[in-house]
Amino acid sequence: MGLANPLLSFINLKLMKLPEADLLAQQAKVAEDVIRALGTPVSNAQSSKAECVMFSMDRALQLDAALGSYVKNVSNPAPVHLLYRATTLPHRKAYDEVLEEYQFVIANAVVQDKRETFKAQLLGIMDGIKSEKLFFLVDDDLFVERLDLDEFVQLDTRAVIPSFRMGANLSECYTQQQPQPCPDFFCLRNAAELTAERGLPITEENRDDLLYWDWRQGRYDWAYPLSVDGHLFSTAEIRALAKHTEFHSPNTLEGNLQGYISFFKHRKGVCYRKSRMVNIPCNKVQTDNSNLHGDLHQDVLLEKWQNGLRIDYGALYGFDNNGAHQEIELAFVERSERR
């Protein structure tokens, strides 16, 4: 499998740095659970598929755009498990309307009871997922290019971390406000060859080469494998790590998972030449960090939803973003107009 040695090296490193018996035992337990999870075969009909967990808070209008672009641009879409929070009744009503419209793709919608229950509720969702692969999305994501999910779920997450959000078009790191050089890419197989090999039709969107890179050689987003924003993981592995991680929100989940980055850095990243999605940070609803964001307040967007508007996400199909996160001016259309 190729994972035992990196994991054992990680344990040995912790043994040297953390002599306290309780911390050593904890690190050994995490590694043991991950190795067990990776070695447990998935014996169910959905083993070749994936499922999605999406997070949202007070942003029903943005969630509508995320789901709309997902349904429009993703072939063979995975079912979505939504964990969301509404701090007021008007926000909750807006969510009810979005859930009604996308009930055909939302397999499970869980209302977050309160901040303190986020971990327990997320683990409950993950325990119910039967597919072998899992990816996370957030409500300010937007799919701007076609993506065949069946192609990505064939990739072995024990060896690679597939990413929807990365691409050779990314030259800026928004979160650091720094230029972001691309790593040295290499191609293992042409996506069209793999598609033909599986007996699927070759279309324009799957003619792209899949680009691989070494996370250890990347900078900024290219060195950040444990993103909960469009990266594909082994369900069993990420669930095992989450159970040993303290968190109370998507941001703290992602931040604290970085403590296990040694489990992932040796794997390769893989993406399309052009990124399939972009995160549009037009506002911020969490208080866990001081991340950069735009000034389009979520309550202003709620008013637009109440007035019968939605984000014109179709106008952004094919958008050539220069970062995994990018502030983009949004246009709005009548909700009666199907995109």
The 10s digit of each residue's pLDDT in 274-328 is: 999 999 998 877 666 667 666 889 999 999 999 999 999 999 999 999 999 999 9
With the C-alpha atoms ordered 277, 281, 283, 285, is the resulting torsion angle positive or negative?
A: positive
Mean predicted lDDT score pLDDT of the chain: 85
Domain boundaries, the chain: 41-334
Q: What is the mean pLDDT of residues 113-124?
A: 93
Answer yes or no: is pLDDT of 3 > 70: no
> Could you confirm whether domain 41-334 is CATH 3.90.550?
yes
Q: What is the pLDDT of residues 150-188, one digit of tens each?
A: 988 989 998 999 999 999 999 999 999 999 999 999 876
Categorize the per-residue pLDDT at 49 as very low, low, confident or very high, splitting at 50, 70 and 90: confident
Answer yes or no: is pLDDT of 62 > 60: yes
Q: What is the pLDDT of residues 184-209, one digit of tens each?
A: 998 765 545 554 555 544 444 444 57
Tell me which of 265 and 97 has the higher pLDDT: 97
